[in-house]
Amino acid sequence: MPKSAAAQAAAAASLPKGIGDTGRRTLIKGGVILSMDDQVGNFESADILLEGSKILAVGPALAAEGAAVIDAQGKIVMPGFVDTHHHQFETALRGHLANGILINDGRPESSSNYYETILQKFSMVYRPDDVYINELFGSLSQLDAGVTTVMDVSQIHHSPEHSDAAVEGLLDAGRRSVLGYFEGWGEKSAYPFDAKRIHQTHFSSDDQLLTMVMGGEIYIPGYEEAWRIGRELNIPIALHVVGTFGMQPVFDELGARGMFGPDNIFIHMTGMSEQGWKHAADAGAHISLSVPIEMQMRHGTPPLQTSIDLGMSISLSTDVECTMTADFFTQMRSFVTLQRMEANAKALAGQDYPRLATAAYALRTATIGGARGLRLDHKIGSLTPGKEADIILLNADALNVAPLNNAAGAVVTLMERSNVDAVLVAGKVKKWDGQLLGFDIDRLRHEIEKSRDYLFEAAAIDRDLFAD
């Protein structure tokens, strides 16, 4: 038996039976609770009582006779992370564009850029099978890191078959996912009109793990129709807003026409005008920030402080693994350290400066902030009785964390994916004792390697392990 399979089997054998089953109660006992709900509060040691997929109660010494018990001593228990922007179809291309920037702007280093390499070359050769394995493997990787919800920005809808493969990959992962139905290319692409079929076929019920967002890029001809369809279906409308793409005039004009609303998710918002920001804020739009990517790939300076100063709803997102990791510990650390760097520079210069971001604030942005942006905060994002049990247990006894002195600080400044001990989605255990359950990881790794090999060959791009 492969080592990974043996480790999975050992973990599964120690899992209390019946957790997540309909009508079955589970008690998560004696953990450090970070609830992300001011009414519930935080606890140095308390319990969480679940019934099936739901949270029943949070508090010290809960009575739960007959419940399955998860011992959470030495663990920080909190809501799972929510990623509001991740191009999961690119999982097989991880690290290939580690040094790349966003677009070819004519400067020497821009020959390695995302738009030409990933979107215009690699994406054009994807088959539905490639979409499926990339979606599935990327989803499982994030589950392993405690990210229980994602908006998958799948710019790979070259045909209805590609779209269905994306949904199937998300569904098979068993994670809470939001299909971002963005553009595709080629004569078989049915974007944006296939949105109605996809929604009716896969998302007709709100009582499921999968929901849908409409992609409405304003640099794509005919985006007005995408926006119209999204609003007809009553789903959020998401788009990348990057000043380096020359979007500012169109964006400002849309805002002036009153086209923005609380259903808009604006990704990045780098390099935008003061007027554009005012339109977005007045409309109650949500901002998804991909801080490490924005710094790395020349999107422009991440607009953290502008978002905060305007009191906007904000979240964190990972963007593209061809350039940067999709774990949320990196996202939170980048968010906090960049905000504090800019504020501290003003303080050292004797200028007025904003309040310094805290670890607790970063955690809220990474959980309930993302849930609000995706219109899922009635279901997830906090450990609130009545919500679904999307919960992670983080090992605070581990060598890189112990002794525990500040719970939020430990998560944001000390932890990484190896500290994610257990993950529950809608009350069902997806990771236990540090091991993902229910998947043949060795087989899936082989499948995504086959997809990678095909993609590089079909796109006529060399895979150089030692590229500068």
The DSSP letter of residue 113 is: B
pLDDT given at position 94: 98
Tell whether the model's pLDDT for residue 134 goes beyond 60.
Answer: yes
Token pair 């020959």 in the structure block, residue: 111
pLDDT given at position 202: 95
pLDDT average, residue stretch 196-202: 96
Tell whether the model's pLDDT for residue 293 goes beyond 80.
Answer: yes
Percent of all residues in the chain with a pLDDT value above 70, rounded to a whole number = 99
Span 366-376, pLDDT tens digits: 999 999 999 99
pLDDT given at position 328: 98
pLDDT given at position 375: 97
Tell whether the model's pLDDT for residue 20 goes beyond 80.
Answer: no
* pTM listed for this prediction: 0.97
Span 223-267, pLDDT tens digits: 999 999 999 999 999 999 998 888 999 999 999 999 999 999 999
How many whole angstroms separate alpha carbon 258 and alpha carbon 206? 28
pLDDT given at position 3: 66
Secondary element (H or E) of residue 450? helix 441-458
Tell whether the model's pLDDT for residue 403 goes beyond 80.
Answer: yes
Cα–Cα nearest to 35, from 79, 88, 72: 79
Span 421-468, pLDDT tens digits: 999 999 999 999 999 999 999 999 999 999 999 999 999 999 999 987
pLDDT given at position 1: 56
DSSP codes of every residue in 286-355: EEEE-HHHHHHTTS-S--HHHHHHTT-EEEE--B-TTTS---HHHHHHHHHHHHHHHHHHHHHTT---PP
Helix axes 3-13, 441-458, angle to 10 degrees: 140
Q: Using alpha carbons, list the distances in angstroms from residue 386 to 32, 52, 54.
A: 20, 11, 6
pLDDT given at position 7: 82
Which domains are seen in the chain, by residue range?
3-79+385-436 (2.30.40.10), 81-373 (3.20.20.140)
3-state SS class at 431: strand
pLDDT average, residue stretch 294-317: 97
Secondary element (H or E) of residue 181? strand 176-181
How many whole angstroms separate alpha carbon 289 and alpha carbon 357? 15
Percent of all residues in the chain with a pLDDT value above 90, rounded to a whole number = 90
